[in-house]
Amino acid sequence: MNDQIAVSRLSKRAADAVVRGLEERILSGALPDGAHLPPERDLIDDFGVSRTVVREAVAVLASRGLVESRPRYRPVVRRPGAEAALAAAGSVVGHLLRDGAGVKNLYDTRILLEGALVRHAALNARKDDILALTRALAANEAAIPEAERFYATDVAFHAVLYDIPRNPILPAVHKAFTAWLSTHWERMPRSPERNRVNFLRHSDILAAIRDRDPDAAEAALNSHLNAAWEYVRGTFDGA
């Protein structure tokens, strides 16, 4: 048993060395975004390790979002960015979402962030931003009778708020929030009546942004998301 543990530790250290070596090549640009990793045989020779160790290292890089790995294909390098970082955090966040308290903590974080975003939008949104919000709101209204389409247009409306600051990290954060919370939000009972209430709250947010009133925009956003939580909290154990 002790021999097996020792071998396992040696294998892990060897895999860690391969991970560090390949990570340095990716971050330096020696392995550019979209390039294939060197063939498995070359990696075995370069690092002086076994096939098993190379495959373990590739699995670690894939979990960090640094490579895209598919069966029977050579892994492809993915340049690290906000989406990769947040995707890599997904498994950790998953543990936080196992109970209602964890869901609420993540949701409160979203409220704080979106409150800042609507204030920023009220002060800084351009004409094309207002137009994007207006179009998203129109699509949201048109989808009121259909639960799935309404949910998609609801997500799209909020996504525009993350686009307005033109910070590439923020859309990635929105995408992550949506992915992390979607399995829980899909349990929420939906009806055209409830959809209309949410649409009207979106309308309030847009109206405040158009009026260049950051306080009203934040108040409308908080009212919307806090009411949404009260409506769905019963679907989460321990919320």
**d(C-alpha 190, C-alpha 228), whole Å:** 11
**d(C-alpha 148, C-alpha 119), whole Å:** 29
- Together in a domain, 26 and 49: yes
CATH label of the domain that carries residue 129:
1.20.120.530
Domain that holds residue 224: 84-235
Residue 62's nearest CA partner among 101, 19, 8 is 19
29: phi > 0 → left, psi -120 to 50 → alpha, else beta; which?
Answer: left
- Give residue 115's pLDDT: 97
Total domains in the chain come to 2
- Give residue 7's pLDDT: 46
- Together in a domain, 61 and 135: no
Domain final residue pick, 31, 63, 80: 80
- Give residue 3's pLDDT: 47
- Together in a domain, 71 and 132: no
- Together in a domain, 9 and 94: no
pLDDT per residue rounded down to tens, the chain (239 residues): 454 555 456 677 889 999 999 988 988 889 998 899 999 999 999 999 999 999 999 998 887 778 888 888 899 998 766 666 566 555 555 656 666 677 788 889 999 999 999 999 999 999 999 999 999 999 999 999 999 899 999 999 999 999 999 998 898 889 888 887 777 666 676 789 999 999 999 999 999 999 999 999 999 999 999 998 887 776 665 44
**DSSP H helical segments within 97-213, as ranges?**
100-124, 127-142, 147-163, 169-185, 192-210
- Together in a domain, 125 and 219: yes
- Together in a domain, 88 and 48: no
Domain final residue pick, 28, 47, 80: 80
CATH label of the domain that carries residue 71:
1.10.10.10
